[in-house]
Structure 1
Amino acid sequence: MLGTSLLGRLRRRDPGDAILRRAARLTLVASVVFYGCRYGAGSSVLATYGLFGTIAAGSFAQLPGPAPQRARILVTSLPAVWALIAAGALLAWSTWAAAGGMLVIGFVVAFAGVGNPRLVGLASAFQLFYILASFPPYQPGTVPERLGGVTLGIVLLAAAEMLLWPDPVPVSYRQRLAEAADGVAAFLDAAADGLTDPHTDPGGRDARRTRAHDVVAAIELGRNPPEWAPSAAGAQDRALRICAAALREVLVEADQLAADTPSAPIPDRTAARLLRASADTTRAAGRALSPGGPTVELGDLDAAIGRAEAAYPEGEGDGHDAPDVSRLCRDATALALTDQTRIFAVGVRVATGSRLDGVDTHSGLFAYARHSPWTLYWWQFRAHLAPRSAHLHSSVRLAVALAIARVAAGVLQLTHGFWVLLATLTVLRTSAADTRTALRPAVLGTIAGAVVSGGLMLVVDQPIIYAVVLPITLMLAFGVGRLLGPVWQQALFTLLLTGVFAQLNPEGWRLAEARLVDVLLGVVIGVLAGVAMWPRGASHDLRLNATRYLAASADAVEQTIQAVLGGAPPLERALNRVRQRMILVDASYCQYHSERHGPHHRQVNWDAVLSAGHHVVPGAESLLRRNPPGCLAGWPAAAALLRDSAGQLRSAYDDLAGEVAHGDASAPVPVRIGCAGELDRVRPLLSEGDPRSVRHLVEVDRWLAGLADSLSRIHPR
């Protein structure tokens, strides 16, 4: 009965048996490697590095993607593993040399992940390879054996990933993006139907709108695991991020058109035709994201844009009759939506590796695609070398803690000093709150494991017994223990380690005592480092980065308005400043989601706050492509109206930044009332300008109103 209850509990915690399958693969490979090296080849060095290489790559490394991708990452990481083991072995001659190497390598390995999330998944495993090799005895001559053992373990594990009980292929970010594209396309079709016949199935339009918002929300970076989110510096991940931003903008514009649906069918169907062309292109781009999907073509969309822009300004009157501003606003919104659709389609071509020959790539938006991966990585790396980078703080904290732990283990001449650093690595988190959370299971589990293993060693002193039960302890530690909870996992891992070293270097019950002392020392160092160095984790950095990001966004808005009014501000510099600060705020936001938070931190609706900034850059670039700098020069009344609107928006951004910095509830901000509601603001100016200038005024004012609308959605949770 007890066994049945335990089995049922494990199955509930592991739907699909994913954890147990991984544990079974790890157990089989680790057992084969250890038995073959220790008892077949008769080498303790081969056995040690083979076993710990398998455990590090199979348990500590968190790798994304299907089995073939994970296997490829493991095999291609071997040169880095060899370098780390060689460096550790050569620096093991001195405690201070090894600690200095730990400080440098610990930082570099942790910080390297800013350019590729796959490196983040390998960071802990890489740290372990250096840690294991950096302890005495100092025997450079054993480096070939060490490299041979770890290579054998990693290669066999990579083969097992593909051949033994492979995991189901997970849903990738591209699949989520393709699903979002399909949902948005369906909503665009419904919005187009609403313009041509407002009384056709309004309930169906609402359902499609709801689904579109749900699937677009699923592609937010913060809602995807770091190893899955497209946060790498490479061209494909950059393109996917642009695609996600463009699709969000398409949905925002479609919402506006749906909200402004007239009570009767509109006489001119330009907006409806643009919506349908955008729906077709968005759907085709989503299909192109699937493996082997056809390349998305832009000819039909470009033709629709060309026809709309050719008819758009001239069809509004002769400059003396009042233009139909409602129609102007609908058409302007549809053109802005179509422009973002085109960005989405071009981004999909870049993400899928399609050629861009003959394709207008919107000036510098996709200029990065012409640069090498190393250049792109350096840009990302340099962006995070900033005082408010969450990645920089985490990397420095970890490197310093591991270096101190290495000094303590060397000065105290601990026989198994490796366990001190392993405990520090295990308990240290990105915030003091999370470190305290990891403290209790680490201590309780180690004490329980040490007591049990020490008692066993008093009773059983035959290494052959521990050899026989090795597969059982492996399966318990990495399968059952992980499902039962952190305390059980730590206790069973302690039992596994004492059983392994009972075969490598029998010391009796004192081995369990050494394990307990080493882990407690490592835990103390980890806790002190977590409390002393940036204890608030990403929450503090997120507030400061978001404040600076909103301020930069406000500057970009004001300078965009100055540009269309004929000023010559350094607009590209302002937009680049927003992009740079977006990198830091997005990184802080992703780390923030992985930490524990008190009720005070939840007062800020971070999704809405960051969305308010994310609308600025793509919107400004789209606006200036159809409304070039100086398009409204020489119209003083329009200049006064737009400057007043930009000033109010700047105040709203500044107020929001101040509230975010203090974690207070948002104060009232400008609320968007739609195109029809903007008539009273611009009506006095309509008879003063020519049709093209009126069009520019409506488009610029519509953009400012959209930004105010994004601010109006921010409320405390």
Structure 2
Amino acid sequence: MWGVPAVRLPTAYAASGRRALRVTLVAAAGFYAFRYGLDRPVAATYALFTVVALGGLSRIPGTGRQRAAFIARLLPVCWVLVVVGTCLSVRTWSAVLGMLVVGFTLAFSAVGGPRPAGAAPGLQLLYILPSFPPYDPGSLGDRLLGTTTGVALFVAAEALLLPERAPPSYRERAARAALVAERCAARLAAARAALTGTDVRAAQEAGQALRALSVPEAERPAGPGVRERALTHTGLAIRTLLGRLARLPAVPDDGTAPDVTAVLRSVARLAAATAGCLRAGTTSPPAPREELLTARARLSAVSAGPPSPGACLPPEVLRCHAAVLEVADAALAMGAAADLAVAGRHGSVPLPPGRFWYATTPAAVLWWHRARGHAGRRSVFFQNAVRMALALTAVRLVAGVDTLPHGFWAMLATLTLTRTTLGQTWSTIRLALAGTLAGALVSAGVLILVGSDTAVYAVLLPVWMLCAFTVGPVRGVGWAQGMFTVLVALIFAQLAQPTWRLAEVRMLDVLVGSAIGAVFGVLAWPRGAHDELRRAAAELLRRAAEIVVATSASVAAGTTPATPSGVPGHRSLQRAVVLAESAYAQVQSEPTPFGGGGRGADARTVDWQATLIAGHHTLWGSARLLEPPLTALSPEAAESAGTLGERVAGRMLLVSAALDPADDAPDATPSLTHPVLAGFTAEPPGAPRRYYATVAWLNSLMTDLARIAHSASRKP
């Protein structure tokens, strides 16, 4: 069934049919109004292909109303593309240069999030259309008229026709998870015992609902703006809070128990306030945060204890205090991030330095920061943009130099058939050529039988368009290309004198376009994101290992690193996390690499999310442990913390070697199956709470590494 499970076919056809109906109604209305009502064939062509570009070729996630709002904002971009494409098309060299620049820019715009990424192919088509004959700048007015009409009609159709039920937004998901955290913290405070299995499962499910793969693409806060970044930060903080509450031990029954339960009650109230803030869209009241800060400071002072070693609290109490203070830290981060996500730069919550670095940064700078972070050959967004821009430029050059008939179709084939891996590109091309051949035969037969009777083509066009945009996306690229070939013939038969050779030209153009796409698929990163993901994850763990060693040494010595952020390597690890997250997002749409992935580290079996979480845990934990004031540990505690830090860092380097495709160490993966290192239960005499907080941080990193190592040692 072309890769679509039978149980999903009814749902897939229903969704595809709704989309096809909107596209068909709007495209046919604009085309017929201009072609037969006003006798303006140029405007008719642009009205139709604008709708096909934004509704058929683009895959903008979200409900109809969400897509309508986004497409309305794209109208000025559509105008610019049509104007620039028209002006540069008069000379081959300018058209080729424009295709290179515009093609790269539009493809690279995917760094802005799922919606820009989904709209990029359609916008490419809107630039390609005026780049081919007729080279008639005098028709620019009709071209803009048709484009504007197509966008306006399609926006109205998306907003009004067949409305869809909107899924829960990410803010709503975060609010629900915050309420789960509130219940967990309240029960821990009331019972002074660890959570039950039911509570732990509820916390795990709430955290799972905030992961990217569990959230519809349109609802993911993936943009570079302040609110999107803060909402992502909110989800990560809530997941961290839920995980720490689930692992919190029973509260020791000693004199410090009231201080511990006071923190937990304050965490519960702040979680409830955060949920209300996210749902109401207003800033949270300051009282719960101030209450938690007060309770946290009191417990921290009690936990620090008197300077005399003989009067120190028992180790099990200090471990509990360290865990509860980590819970409080996660709750405070959650509240601050949620306020920033709702209010933007007008938030009322004081923000800790470093963690919310983007809060006061202008939007243009944030976009520049996102683009610069991916402006390198290791970014999959950069790779995709280069691959697509070079392929489209090559087709435009061939069309201009060799006067390829209907070169527009060749570029359309390159745009729709080029994939991120050689194997996927070749598979797609084979199916596309088979479908195009079948479509060409059908088109030739229709053109021969019908001849020049445009009324027949006018009747067939909407019927065939509805079928093509319903069946094609569900049945696969072969069906899509075959049905689109017939659709193109029905359109152009109403714009010029039809001939059966139109089908022959369509077949030639698809062959040329797909061949050029395949060539650049081979030359430009033919393995797609699989190797890049492994390389990015390995680099992430190497950077994290450096931070672990430096942080452990600083805690042991009681000194703060002399770096701008206070954490050595912080910015390098941040960038490594960004690149790994982008590679992981793309690899979800790619097939398993050739030969099964090798070394047991295939992209489909390794727990890549555990790698990303390890990067975030490293950043947050290091910043928290190095908050002043710092005091040196006792010799025994310093040696224990330093040794554990070095061992965890060494374990990170072993996992990194197992994942890195450039590392040829044959025994890297087997060495990852060793049991968890000893030392996390050590209790050096007189060790303060900061020592136990460091041990808890390192232990959480070991949990992440154990999941990665276990999955990396499995054969796919």
TM-score of the two chains, using structure 2 as the length reference: 0.90
Residue of 561, 566, 578 corresponding to 1:568: 561
- Is 1:697 matched with 2:691? yes
What is the 5 A alignment of 1:463-542? 463-542=454-533
Cα shift readout 1:544-565 (whole Å, capped 9, x = no counterpart)? 1111111111111222233332
Alignment of 1:114-129 (within 5 A): 114-129=111-126
Matched to 1:141, the amino acid is G
Partner in structure 2 of residue 4 of structure 1:
none
Q: Rate the CA distance shift 1:303–1:270 in 2: closer, same or farther, 3 A.
A: same
Percent identity (aligned): 34
- The residue number in structure 2 matching 1:287 is 276
Query: Which structure 2 residues correspond to residues 53-452 of structure 1 after superposition, within 5 A?
Result: 53-194=50-191, 196-197=192-193, 205-224=196-215, 227-257=218-248, 260-261=249-250, 268-290=257-279, 292-314=280-302, 316=305, 319-353=309-343, 359-452=349-442
Report what 2:637 is aligned to: 638
Instruction: Specify whether residues 108 and 669 from structure 1 end up closer, same or farther in structure 2 by C-alpha distance, changes over 3 A only.
Output: farther
The one-character-per-residue Cα deviations of 1:479-518 (angstroms, maximum 9, x if unpaired) are: 1333333322222111111000000112311111111111
CA distance in 1 between counterparts of 2:592 and 2:157 reads: 39
My pick for the range that moved more, 128-137 or 292-301, is: 292-301
Q: Tell me by how many angstroms 1:585 deviates.
A: 0.9
* Residue in structure 2 matched with residue 655 of structure 1 by the alignment: 654
Q: Which residue of 2 aligns with 1:608?
A: 610
RMSD: 2.5
C-alpha distance in 2 between matches for 1:222 and 1:456: 45
For residues 506 and 225 of structure 1, do their structure 2 counterparts lie closer, same or farther at Cα, with a shift above 3 Å needed?
farther
Check 1:661–1:678 CA distance in 2 against 1; reply closer, same or farther (3 A cut). Answer: closer
Distance 1:177 1:621 in 2: 24
Q: Please report how far the alpha carbon of residue 525 of structure 1 lies from its aligned counterpart in structure 2 after TM superposition.
A: 1.2
> Quick one: which amino acid aligns to residue 524 of structure 2?
M
Q: CA deviation at 1:115?
A: 2.8
CA drift of 1:294 comes to: 4.8
1:590 paired residue number: 585
Do the aligned residues in 2 keep the contact of 1:672 with 1:712 (CA within 8 Å)?
no
Label 1:78 to 1:504 Cα distance change in 2 as closer, same or farther (>3 A). same
- Preserved contact between residue 278 and residue 342 of structure 2 (Cα < 8 Å): yes
Residue in structure 2 matching 1:620, options 612, 619, 622? 622
In structure 2, how many angstroms separate the alpha carbons of the residues matched to 1:335 and 1:604?
A: 32
Distance 2:416 2:400 in 1: 19
Aligned residues: 687
The 3 A distance-change label for structure 1 pair 358 and 288 is: closer
Match of 2:16 in 1: 19
Q: Distance in 1 between matches of 2:671 and 2:450?
A: 66
User: Residues of 1 paired with 2:300 and 2:377: CA distance?
Assistant: 48
Structure 2 residue identity aligned to 1:397: R
Task: Provide, for residues 93-150 of structure 1, a one-character-per-residue CA deviation record: whole Å limited to 9, x for no partner.
Answer: 2223212111111001111221343211110011001111101221111111101101
> Which piece of structure 1 moves more, 345-354 or 511-520?
345-354
CA drift at 1:396: 0.2
Distance (Å, rounded) in 2 between the aligned partners of 1:530 and 1:223: 31
Question: Are residues 142 and 176 of structure 1, via their aligned partners in 2, closer, same or farther at CA, if it must alter by over 3 Å?
Answer: same
Instruction: Identify unmatched segments of 5+ residues in structure 1.
Output: 1-7
Counterpart of 1:582, as a letter, is: V
The one-letter amino acid paired with 1:657 is S
Q: Which among 665, 668, 672 is matched to residue 667 of structure 1?
A: 672
Q: Aligned pair 1:682/2:677, yes or no? A: no
Query: What is the rounded CA distance, in whole Å, between the counterparts of 2:434 and 2:179 in structure 1?
Result: 50
Secondary structure class of the residue paired with 2:405 = coil
1:399 CA displacement: 0.3
Secondary structure of 2:365's partner? helix
- Residue range with higher mean Cα deviation, 575-584 or 552-561: 552-561
Once residues 675 and 286 of structure 2 are traced to their aligned partners in structure 1, the CA distance between those partners, rounded to angstroms, is 37
Gaps of 5+ in 2: 662-667
TM superposition shift of 1:436: 2.5
The residue aligned with 1:33 is 30
Preserved CA contact (<8 Å) 1:336 1:623: no
Q: Give how far 1:620 is off.
A: 1.7
Structure 2 CA distance for aligned equivalents of residues 506 and 665 of structure 1: 69
- How far the C-alpha of 1:29 sits from its partner, in A, is 0.7
Task: State the AA in 2 paired with 1:254.
Answer: L
Q: Determine if contact 1:562/1:568 at 8 Å carries over to the other structure.
A: no
Contact 1:546 1:657 in 2 (8 A): yes
